[in-house]
């Protein structure tokens, strides 16, 4: 048996089977739930934990549906739709939703890209960062980045600096993971808290505890074949 095939079969065997919509309806009835991890990944981690999905970094899906979409493989994504500070203001989250976190398949690795174009962190940490949004319609200019964009050619997505191809992603491999998406939009409250666990608090004031509430709107399940 091909080793890659054997590995994928083992991984699929370990993917949990859940009745997603039924579990989501139960979770929504609980109201606000204290986040299980601080930072930008806290929402997704908390949701996966409540659904019985183990955190993973493989290129397969997150769960197999055992309910309405029985035996269908899904990738699960969650984001903050509304952010509220109690007491304080409410705002809608306009950030983009990350569908995949993927290092380049060929060319310069993430480490080399950060080493070449990264800049020192501005929050006091002794790290080097590289945050930017690249588009295909124009060149992007930002911190340490000038004249960079992305371009799709024959199923590959290239990172281009001026006219030089730095790295590329294999879109076929990426699309295989996101052909079926279950997207959960959440309402988030930050409440004043004195629990002492600052790891679960917002990074700016360290005083607010991050709580997550599933919206009362129907679960947004998207099934598309992106390869067509």
Q: What is the pLDDT of residue 196?
A: 66
Minimum mean pLDDT among 38-47, 71-80, 156-165: which range?
A: 38-47
Which residues is 87 bridged to in the sheet? none
- Cα–Cα distance, 207 to 184 (Å, whole number): 27
How do residues 51-99 score in pLDDT, each as one tens digit?
999 876 666 788 999 999 999 889 898 888 877 776 667 878 777 888 8
Burial group, residue 201, by CB count within 10 angstroms (0-12, 13-18, 19+) = buried
Tell me: pLDDT of 139 over 70: yes
Domains of the chain: 3-99+178-219 (3.40.210.20), 109-173 (no CATH)
How do residues 108-132 score in pLDDT, each as one tens digit?
999 999 999 888 887 777 888 888 8
First to last CA, the chain: 29
Helix or strand holding residue 96 (H, E): none
pLDDT interval class at 34 (50, 70, 90): confident
Tell me: pLDDT of 188 over 70: yes
Tell me: pLDDT of 10 over 60: no
pTM confidence score: 0.66
Which residues is 222 bridged to in the sheet? 181
Average pLDDT, the chain: 78
3-state secondary structure of 65: strand
Q: In degrees rounded to 5, what are phi and psi of residue 48?
A: -60, -40
- Cα–Cα distance, 45 to 50 (Å, whole number): 9
């Amino acid at each position: 048996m091909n080793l890659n095939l054997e590995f994928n079969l083992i991984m699929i065997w370990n993917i949990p089977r859940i009745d997603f919509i039924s579990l989501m309806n139960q979770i929504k009835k609980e109201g606000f739930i204290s986040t299980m991890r601080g930072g930008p990944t806290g929402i997704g981690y908390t949701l996966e934990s409540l659904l019985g999905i183990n955190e993973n970094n493989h290129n397969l899906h997150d769960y197999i549906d055992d309910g309405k979409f029985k035996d269908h493989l899904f990738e699960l994504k969650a984001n903050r739709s509304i952010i509220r500070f109690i007491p304080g203001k409410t705002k809608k989250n306009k950030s983009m939703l990350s569908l995949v976190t993927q290092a380049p398949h060929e060319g310069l690795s993430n480490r080399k890209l950060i080493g070449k174009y990264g800049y020192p962190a501005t929050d006091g940490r002794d790290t080097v960062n590289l945050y930017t949004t690249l588009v295909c319609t124009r060149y992007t200019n930002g911190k340490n980045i000038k004249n960079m964009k992305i371009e799709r050619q024959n199923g590959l997505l290239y990172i281009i600096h001026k006219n030089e191809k730095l790295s590329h992603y294999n879109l076929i491999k990426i699309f295989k993971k996101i052909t079926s998406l279950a997207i959960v939009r959440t309402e988030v409250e930050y409440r004043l808290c004195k629990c002492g666990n600052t790891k679960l608090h917002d990074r700016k004031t360290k005083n607010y505890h991050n709580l997550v509430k599933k919206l009362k709107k129907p679960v947004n399940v998207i099934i598309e074949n992106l390869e067509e």
